[in-house]
Amino acid sequence: MLLSPEQWQPLLRAHEDRAHDLTKEHLARRRAGEKHPVWDFLFDYYPIKPATLAKWNPGVGTALLLDGASSEPPHLNWRDYHVVDTPYGKAVTVDEVGFIDRRRQAIAYIEDLFQRTETNPAHYDCFGLHEWAMVYRSAETRHDLQLRLGPAGTDQVVENHSIRCTHYDAFRFFTPPARSLNFRVLSREDQPDFDQRGCLHAGMDLYKWAYKLGPLIPGSMWLDCFELAKECRRLDMEASPYDCRPLGLGVVAIETPEGKAEYVTRQRQLSQRAAVLRQNLLAVLSPALATVKE
């Protein structure tokens, strides 16, 4: 696809405006020196700056025509872009061969992880207990929030349930007494064997993986992943042992049948959104990898 300046400039501005709307509250808190125990996670655990999120990539296969004026695309000075000749003049586009050659191992891992996440058996029986397992029998909490049921009540919820966390990056924060309560001890090496499409964190991580795929991924798709990560984080914390009501969030009381039902309903909805995004990312990634392999 070849875009003239009249076509790509509105896309760039629209991306910047959308990214600003998604990050303005975080930036205002940061300027005021304020912390947020729920939303800061999206910028601390995923160390991606709002300014980076605001950088628009047109995506692999799209070239931006140059007109020699002051409105030249910023991509001219970005890594992993190069200038090509077209029938309509010079244009800047993603250097997919150079980028994939430089990041081939990581990109192949992401493609494999996506494919296996889709085909591994889906589970909807974890009820968000990973956050509970992170404070089990501990004198400390991970967030500056009160435990909704108190320490003893939180421990009892963990002990009354089967812990079935399949995502290593949640499991690795379990307290030592909680690790042996999980259905198995997970490791980084076996993550592709256990990541599955029902997992809230596997959906949230699409934001991270899209970032690592860099210029291959259209900016709009990356922002879609960020929006999904935000909604996954909301459910993650509303179903956690913490009382997030002072922050304007709700409560999903997973220790009750009603709370479990609400969690699973919302989990399924988010996993469906994640599946669509994962397929969209694969639709960009797999052909690009195949082209370079040839």
Q: What is the mean pLDDT of the chain?
A: 94
Task: State residue 67's pLDDT score.
Answer: 80
Beta bridge partners of 84: 91
pLDDT in tens, 181-218: 999 999 999 999 999 999 999 999 999 999 999 999 99
- Count CB atoms within 10 A of the CB of residue 112: 11
* Alpha carbons 42 and 45: distance in angstroms, whole number: 6
The C-alpha atoms of residue 107 and residue 158 are separated, in whole angstroms, by 37
Predicted pLDDT of residue 231? 97
Spans in the chain with pLDDT lower than 70 = 69-70, 291-294
pLDDT, residue 226, reads 98
Q: Identify the pLDDT of residue 286.
A: 82
SS3 content of the chain, % helix, strand, coil (to 5): 55, 5, 35
The three-class DSSP label of residue 203 is helix
Please check whether residue 88 is in contact with residue 65, taking contact to mean a CB–CB distance below 8 angstroms. Answer: yes
Give residue-wise pLDDT tens across range 79-92.
999 999 988 889 99
Partnered with residue 93 across adjacent β-strands are 63, 82
Q: Residue 69: what pLDDT?
A: 67
Parse the chain into domains and list their residue ranges: 2-293
Predicted pLDDT of residue 11: 96
The order of strands in the sheet holding 89-94 is 2-3, 63-65, 89-94, 81-86
E strands, the chain, are: 2-3, 63-65, 81-86, 89-94
Give the burial class of 215: count Cβ atoms within 10 A of its Cβ; 0-12 exposed, 13-18 middle, 19 or more buried.
buried
CA distances from 133 to 93, 161, 163, 201, 242 (A): 46, 11, 8, 15, 12
Rounded to two decimals, the pTM is 0.94
* The pLDDT of residue 70: 60
